[in-house]
Amino acid sequence: MCSLRGLWIFKADSELRLVLSKRFPTVEKRTACLHGEDYSPVPTDREMHSLFFSDVLHEREEREVPPSVPPLFREEFSGAAFAWDEYAEACAERPWPSGPVCALRRGRQILWPVVFIYRRGFYLTALVGLQRRHCPMKVRAIDFPEITAAFQVL
């Protein structure tokens, strides 16, 4: 069964623009009852735009060379070793370290799982309603059929 708490479609132009949003109040009420004190309400459109933009699209990349890298390979990890082609970067599909399933932090609250895909200039984004309690730091996304079903909806 797929339960979406919220669905957002963003257009990726020169800036990220919200095209459509939809909330599902019945799923939201069920999630609130199930999670009790751990419940995080669905963000407003403005909050979701800001969270998705900052936490997913512009997450900070590590520039530090890990100390465990042998000296022979350190040059490949240095910032000057890679060329930046802005046009190629804009056309390339970006690999997100957390994958297309991520957690968004809003203060002390964690919104998880948030799933997204990029298609034809649009980010299709959904906040999934899970049927059981969870701890995002101790589980794998693959263990939840609701997440797989959410990708089918997107």
Per-residue pLDDT of the chain (154 residues), as tens digits, is 788 999 999 998 888 999 999 999 999 999 999 888 888 999 999 999 999 988 888 765 555 666 676 676 666 555 544 444 555 555 444 555 445 888 888 888 888 889 999 888 899 999 999 887 766 666 676 777 888 888 888 8
Q: Classify strands 4-12 and 16-23 as parallel, antiparallel or unpaired.
A: antiparallel
Closest CA to 116 of 87, 141, 133: 141
Dist. CA 9–CA 82, nearest whole Å: 33
Query: pTM surpassing 0.85?
Result: no
Residue 129 and residue 30 in contact, taking contact as beta carbons nearer than 8 Å: yes
Residue 8 and residue 48 in contact, taking contact as beta carbons nearer than 8 Å: yes
Residue pointed to by tokens 């900052």: 54
